[in-house]
Amino acid sequence: MLGVIVLAGTAVTLWLSFVATPADAVQGEAVRLLYVHVPSVTVAYVACGITFVASGMWLWKRTEWWDLVGSSAAEIASVFTAVTLLSGMVWGQATWGTAWEWDPRLTSTLFLFLLLVGYQALRAASPDRSSRARRSAVVGLLLVPNIVIVNRSVQWWRSLHQDATLFRTDLDFRIEGLMLFTWVFATAVGLVLLAWLLMHRFRIGWLANRVEERRLGDALTARRAEATS
């Protein structure tokens, strides 16, 4: 069901982005990258937010469920952060004339990506399930502070990257009708995709834990059989 919505929504988004929306007065056709770059980062932010909440909940409740929610969302967040960086490099080359600068917004986003990759590397390096969950919950709590830095970086420091267009405290949106609609629509499709991915990724984590338990159980039975013989 969610999958069908995502497929149909993606088709509509592509039509809106490539055909229906006008070119920008300054940027020209390159503005069409807005509708993929910004929704990607929104999905990444929301996924990081889920990991943050799940990390806090794990430290409180210590249940497998919260560990799996947090780690699933973190993996999805790393994919969408990667996509944000890549589409941003292409957009930057097209409009700024450079694919990468060590500017505050770009640097802090790269750091967020490394934090998410580090989260997965830490999980892979942890010896057992409870230390894995504890360590990743601690890293997960760093995600939202990092996002605040990424999001505010364009105001706190001077940046090549532009200021917020939509998420403004003065609510003075700097974008017109159909362009705004396409942006919001693409973000909605991205969030439905996030829900779909989260369910499927959670199931993978759940099944992987069951497989791990079965292996441990088998090993234990084998050792008992050895001891009694």
Partner 1 sequence: MLVVVVGLGAVVVVRSLDDATLFFRNADEAVTQRDDLGTSRFRLQGLVVPGSVEAYPGGVAFDVGFNGAVVPVEHSGDPVELFDDGIPVVLEGRWSGTNANAVYLSDRMLVKHDENYIADNGGRLDEADDGSGYGSANASPAAAAGA
Partner 2 sequence: MSPWGYVVLGWAITLVVVVGYVVITMQRGRALSRQVPAEEQRWM
Binding site for partner 2 (CB under 8 A): 14, 17-18, 28-30, 32-33, 36-37, 40, 76, 79-80, 82-83, 86-87, 90-91, 93-94, 193, 197, 200-204, 206-208, 210-211, 214
- The partner in contact with residue 25, picked from partner 1, partner 2, none with C-beta cut-offs of 5 to 8 angstroms by kind, is partner 1
Q: Is 108 among the residues that bind partner 1 (CB under 8 A)?
A: yes
> CA 103, 85, 100, 164 torsion: positive or negative?
negative
CB-based burial, 108-122: b 16+ in 10 Å, e otherwise: bbeebbebbeebeee
Contact between 143 and 45 (Cβ < 8 Å): no
Of 24-32, 69-77, 197-205, 221-229, which segment contacts partner 1 by CB under 8 A? 24-32
Q: Which of 9, 59, 118, 142 binds partner 1 (CB under 8 A)?
A: 118
Q: Is 26 among the residues that bind partner 1 (CB under 8 A)?
A: yes
Instruction: Please name which of 57, 79, 60 lies closest in space to residue 69, comparing C-alpha atoms.
Output: 57
Q: Can you tell me the distance from the alpha carbon of 48 to that of 84, in angstroms, rounded to the nearest whole number?
A: 14
Which is nearer to partner 1, 162 or 221 (by Cβ)?
Answer: 162
Q: Is 18 among the residues that bind partner 1 (CB under 8 A)?
A: no
Which is nearer to partner 1, 176 or 212 (by Cβ)?
Answer: 176
- The partner in contact with residue 141, picked from partner 2, partner 1, none with C-beta cut-offs of 5 to 8 angstroms by kind, is none
Q: Can you tell me the distance from the alpha carbon of 39 to that of 183, in angstroms, rounded to the nearest whole number?
A: 7
What's the N-to-C CA distance of the chain in angstroms?
A: 54
Q: How far is the CB of 126 from partner 1 (least distance, A)?
A: 10
CB-based burial, 70-85: b 16+ in 10 Å, e otherwise: bbbbbbbbbebbebbb
Q: Can you tell me the distance from the alpha carbon of 203 to that of 224, in angstroms, rounded to the nearest whole number?
A: 31
DSSP 169: T
> CA 31, 7, 178, 187 torsion: positive or negative?
negative
Q: Is 98 among the residues that bind partner 1 (CB under 8 A)?
A: yes
Q: Is 82 among the residues that bind partner 1 (CB under 8 A)?
A: no
Q: Is 23 among the residues that bind partner 1 (CB under 8 A)?
A: yes
- The partner in contact with residue 195, picked from partner 2, partner 1, none with C-beta cut-offs of 5 to 8 angstroms by kind, is none
- The footprint of partner 1 (CB under 8 A) covers 22-28, 31, 34, 94-98, 101-104, 107-108, 110-111, 114-115, 117-118, 121-122, 124-125, 153, 157-160, 162-165, 174-176, 179
